[in-house]
Amino acid sequence: MTVRVGVIGTGMIGADHVARLTTQVVGSRVSAVFDVATDRAAQVAAAAGATSHTSWEAVVAADDVDAVLIASPGHLHPEQAIACIAAGKPVLCEKPLATTSADALRVLEAEAAAGRRYVQLGFMRRYDAGYLDVKRTMTDGVIGEPLLAHAIHRNATVPDFFRGEMSLTDSLVHEFDVFRWLFDTEIESVTVLPVRTSPLAADGMRDPQVAVLRMAGGQVVTVESFVNCQYGYDVRCEVVGSLGTVGLDNPRTTVVITAGRRSESVPADWQERFAPAYTVELQSWVDDLAAGRVGGPSTWDGYAATAVAEAAVQSYAEGRPVDVRLAERPALYTAGE
Closest CA to 214 of 314, 313, 317, 312: 312
Residue 279 within binding range of ligand NAP, rule CB under 6 A: no
Residues 166-205 that bind ligand NAP (CB under 6 A): 170
Contact between 1 and ligand NAP (CB under 6 A)? no
DSSP-based three-state secondary structure for 305: helix
Residue 75 sits at φ, ψ, to 5 deg, of -70, -15
Contacts of 207 (CB under 8 A, 6+ apart): 164, 167, 197, 198, 201, 225, 226, 227, 228
CA distances from 148 to 173, 182, 228, 291, 316 (A): 18, 11, 26, 38, 22
Angle between helices 172-183 and 129-139 (to 10 degrees): 30
| Residue 74 touching ligand NAP (CB under 6 A) | yes
270 binds ligand NAP (CB under 6 A): yes
Mask 16-55, x = binds ligand NAP (CB under 6 A)?
------------------xxxx--x---------------
Q: Can you tell me which of 48, 62, 71, 92 binds ligand NAP, judged by CB under 6 A?
A: 71
Q: Which is nearer to ligand NAP, 40 or 150 (CB)?
A: 40
Using the contact rule CB under 6 A, the part of the chain among 9-17, 97-105, 181-189, 227-235 near ligand NAP is 9-17
Nearer to ligand NAP, 14 or 296 (CB): 14
d(CA 90, CA 3): 11
Which 48-67 positions form the footprint of ligand NAP (CB under 6 A)?
56
104 lines the binding site for ligand NAP (CB under 6 A): no
Angle between helices 38-48 and 12-23 (to 10 degrees): 10
Nearer to ligand NAP, 34 or 300 (CB): 34
How far is 29 from 59, CA to CA, in rounded Å?
A: 14
Of 94 and 207, the one with the shorter C-beta distance to ligand NAP is 94
Q: State residue 89 phi and psi, 5-degree precision.
A: -115, 125
Q: Which residue is nearest to ligand NAP (CB)?
A: 11
Site for ligand NAP contains 296 (CB under 6 A) = no
Binding status of residue 11 toward ligand NAP by CB under 6 A: yes
Cα first-last separation, the chain = 26
Residues that bind ligand NAP (CB under 6 A): 8-9, 11-14, 34-37, 40, 56, 71-74, 76, 94-95, 122, 124, 170, 270
